[in-house]
């Protein structure tokens, strides 16, 4: 512990604490620019200079560790002059013109710093040399004129996302932010996660879609979760006049700690599907607008007529509340099966395995944060559950091993320390053999390498990595549809036990776990004549749509027009993901809350309320408590 006095206030802090963080604990405000709470201190901007008693010069507080008895001043005339000088130098380094900048007027940390110092003008002229603007990226614009060389983006890209796309070339005032070795951002290895945009203190990195649509003071912020995949990242949804402006990662979220991928941050901004705003009923072979009352009546008649001959289908983007209600309604009419719109049986297989094991064996998201060996197979996690891949990739510089088993091109190709090209159909066998090797049951490495046409040394390194690891994680995907799903899942479980590795399976879509917990199976063969479908706002693949189009009759709840609504008998408009509240269960069993950020059009109800309306006209009482239902099957992961 070290005692430090800042502006007359004394505090005892842990050794190694920076003066800046000690000041924050004392609620002493020191201005900063290059510092970001989620990033390693860098000491680049010099705005946080403080006077340390006994030190010859002013010291940057963000990188200065406290020492016992240190006496620090943060508000002397000398410091204020230094800050103004630092800001003057920063303004003169590039071309910062506030009237035509996206972040001016509250969102710019550089401008705010200048205001705080009462700067009315720039004592030193700007650079006047034009710097390039890189607009090659579909989501991000990079304007070098506004760059203050703070390297927050570089640190975020490496330390948080583990992608290492951004870096700097040249030195001093010539320093330039570059992607890869100088490629345009849009052609670089950038994965478009936008974390750099979120941490940029100026208007250097801005997001194309929300640019000039409103400052943070003009918008309302709603904390909710992303429904892009099963990770369940916390997001801040910025809206203005009931219009989506931007999505940002929620730094306080327990799952993603502020990180997002392109699917979560940018893709919702380009929603172009046609919205359904009124109920529709098929009359004379064509869908015609109807009132809720009429449409409900037609749907109720169809359901009554098809008692015992209907299937319930839910999108995995639907809340557990709505899933439970749909199940309740389906059970009242003796539904043949309860299906999800998920095109594979992975989650069902994982659940079946858990039931036969009778235990929740899997690890939690925290286990990914500090592992030293990651073994991944079953999907390209860098595409389908991206944020989880960040946690593995960013550990590589610290010596973590990332081993992938795949015979396809993968986003891990440039990062993985070892790639084992095992054919998909022999994956289960290979996992069993690997397990035997690890547990010492069978020792013939050469034979096994030959069996799967693998490099013997690579297989040996895999074994060494898993055996010498202090904390290894098996990151098992769920975008596979092997004919032997159950065998792969069971082999994965036994391998994780043999290797003493934490097992984490990605489990499909946002609420796949909720669906499985309530007894829904992956989309199999349609058996009944009537499908009662809650498609919500899901954008289904053609393949899955064709599967359901085979059913002769359909009652559909959907936010958007799709082939499945076009051929339906009754269509009910429902709210999209940003318009409703609810609960979902993510891949590692967290029950997450979804909050409405936008108001829906009149006559458009939440999935849950819309099902409720149908149930009440059919006299089906909703008396299921979904929380109690979750324990019905053994879950592969602890739900809480």
Partner 1 sequence: MAKPTVASDWLGGCAGCHMSFLDIDERIVDLVELVDLRATPITDLKEPDKAGVTVGILEGGITNTYNEEVAIRMRERCQILVALGDCAIFGGVPAMRNFFTLEEALTRAYVETPSTDASGKIPANPELAKMTLVRPVHEIVKVDVFVPGCPPDADIIFYVLAELAQGRIPKLENNNLMWN
The contact set with partner 1 (CB under 8 A) reads 95, 97-101, 104-105, 111, 114-115, 118, 120-122, 125-126, 128, 130
CB of 31 to partner 1, least distance (A): 15
Using CA atoms, how far apart are residues 471 and 367, in angstroms rounded to an integer?
8
> Which pairing describes strands 472-476 and 502-505: parallel, antiparallel, or unpaired?
parallel
Using CA atoms, how far apart are residues 354 and 320, in angstroms rounded to an integer?
20
CB of 115 to partner 1, least distance (A): 5
Q: 25 vs 95, which CB is nearer to partner 1? A: 95
CB of 322 to partner 1, least distance (A): 46
CB of 196 to partner 1, least distance (A): 24
Q: Give the 3-state DSSP-derived string for 96-158, with helices as H, strands as E and coil as C.
A: CCHHHCCCCCCCCHHHHHHHHCCCCCCCCCCCCCCCCEECCCCCEEEEHHHCCCCCHHHHHHH
Helix (H) / strand (E) containing 381: helix 381-384
Q: 119 vs 332, which CB is nearer to partner 1? A: 119
Residue 154, C-beta contacts closer than 8 angstroms, at least 6 positions apart:
166, 167, 168, 177
- CB 3 within 8 Å of CB 118: no
First to last CA, the chain: 37
Helix (H) / strand (E) containing 448: helix 445-451
Using CA atoms, how far apart are residues 53 and 640, in angstroms rounded to an integer?
51
CB of 94 to partner 1, least distance (A): 12
Q: 105 vs 184, which CB is nearer to partner 1? A: 105
Q: 99 vs 602, which CB is nearer to partner 1? A: 99
Place of tokens 């946690």: 391
Q: 109 vs 380, which CB is nearer to partner 1? A: 109
CB of 459 to partner 1, least distance (A): 58
Q: 133 vs 360, which CB is nearer to partner 1? A: 133
Q: 211 vs 360, which CB is nearer to partner 1? A: 211
∠ CA(513), CA(514), CA(516), 5° rounding?
65
Q: 95 vs 460, which CB is nearer to partner 1? A: 95
- Tokens representing 412 are 């891990």
Q: 128 vs 181, which CB is nearer to partner 1? A: 128
CB of 203 to partner 1, least distance (A): 11
CB of 342 to partner 1, least distance (A): 49
Sheet holding 373-377, edge to edge: 418-420, 401-405, 373-377, 472-476, 502-505
Q: 101 vs 371, which CB is nearer to partner 1? A: 101
Residue 272, C-beta contacts closer than 8 angstroms, at least 6 positions apart:
none
For CA atoms 517, 518, 523, 525, give the dihedral sign.
positive
CB of 98 to partner 1, least distance (A): 4
CB of 569 to partner 1, least distance (A): 54
Could you give the residue ranges of the DSSP H alpha helices within 128-251? 152-155, 195-199
């Amino acid at each position: 512990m070290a005692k430090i006095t800042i502006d007359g206030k004394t505090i005892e802090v842990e050794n190694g604490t920076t003066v800046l963080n000690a000041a924050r604990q004392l609620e002493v405000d020191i201005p900063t620019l290059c510092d970001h709470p989620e990033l390693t201190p860098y000491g680049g901007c010099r705005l946080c200079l403080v006077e340390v008693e006994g030190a010859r010069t002013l010291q940057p507080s963000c990188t200065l560790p406290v020492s016992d008895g240190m006496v620090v001043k943060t508000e002397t005339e000398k410091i204020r002059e230094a800050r103004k000088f630092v800001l003057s130098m920063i303004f003169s380094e590039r071309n910062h013109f506030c009237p035509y900048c996206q972040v001016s007027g509250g969102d710019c940390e550089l401008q705010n710093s200048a205001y705080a110092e009462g700067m009315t003008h720039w004592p030193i002229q700007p650079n006047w040399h034009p710097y390039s603007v890189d607009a090659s990226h579909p989501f991000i614009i990079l304007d070098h004129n506004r760059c203050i060389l703070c390297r927050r983006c570089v640190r975020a890209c490496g330390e948080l996302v583990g992608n290492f796309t951004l870096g700097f070339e040249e030195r001093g005032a010539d320093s330039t932010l570059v992607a890869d070795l100088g490629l345009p951002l849009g052609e670089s290895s950038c994965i478009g996660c936008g974390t750099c945009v979120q941490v940029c203190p100026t208007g250097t990195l801005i997001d194309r879609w929300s640019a000039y649509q409103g400052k943070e003071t003009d918008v309302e912020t709603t904390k909710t979760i992303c429904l892009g995949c099963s990770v369940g990242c916390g997001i801040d949804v910025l809206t203005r006049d009931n219009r989506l402006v931007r999505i940002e990662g929620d730094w306080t979220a327990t799952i993603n700690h502020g990180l997002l991928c392109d699917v979560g941050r940018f893709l919702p901004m380009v929603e172009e599907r046609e919205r359904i705003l009124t109920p529709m009923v098929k009359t004379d072979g064509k869908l015609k607008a109807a009132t809720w009352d009429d449409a409900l009546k037609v749907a109720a008649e169809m359901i009554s007529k098809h008692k015992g001959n209907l299937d319930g289908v839910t999108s995995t983007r639907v809340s557990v509340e709505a899933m439970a209600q749909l199940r309740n309604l389906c059970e009242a009419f003796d539904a043949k099966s309860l299906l999800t719109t998920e095109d594979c049986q992975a989650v069902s297989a994982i659940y079946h395995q858990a039931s036969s094991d009778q235990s929740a064996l899997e690890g939690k998201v925290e286990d990914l944060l500090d592992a030293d060996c990651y073994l991944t197979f079953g999907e390209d996690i860098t595409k389908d559950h991206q944020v989880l891949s960040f946690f593995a990739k960013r550990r590589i510089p610290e010596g973590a091993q990332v081993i992938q088993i795949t015979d396809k091109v993968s986003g891990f190709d440039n990062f993985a320390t070892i790639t084992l090209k095992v054919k998909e159909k022999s994956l289960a066998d290979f996992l069993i053999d690997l397990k035997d090797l690890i547990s010492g049951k069978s020792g013939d490495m050469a034979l096994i390498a030959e069996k799967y046409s693998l490099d013997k040394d690579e297989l040996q390194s895999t074994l060494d990595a898993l055996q010498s690891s202090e904390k290894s994680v098996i990151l098992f995907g769920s975008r596979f549809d092997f004919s032997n799903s159950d065998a792969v899942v069971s082999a994965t479980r036994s391998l994780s036990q043999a290797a003493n590795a934490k097992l984490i399976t990605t489990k499909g879509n946002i609420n796949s776990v909720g669906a499985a917990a309530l007894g829904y199976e992956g989309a199999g063969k349609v058996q009944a004549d009537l499908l009662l479908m809650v498609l919500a706002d899901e954008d289904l693949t053609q393949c899955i749509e064709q599967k359901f189009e085979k059913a002769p009759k359909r009652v559909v709840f959907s936010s958007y027009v799709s082939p499945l609504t076009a051929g339906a008998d009754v269509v009910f408009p429902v709210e999209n993901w940003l318009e409703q509240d609810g609960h979902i269960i993510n891949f590692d069993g967290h029950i997450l809350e979804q909050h409405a950020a936008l108001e829906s059009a009149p006559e458009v109800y939440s999935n849950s309320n819309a099902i409720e309306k149908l149930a009440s006209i059919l006299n089906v009482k909703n008396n299921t408590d979904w929380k109690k239902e979750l324990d019905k099957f053994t879950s592969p992961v602890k739900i809480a």
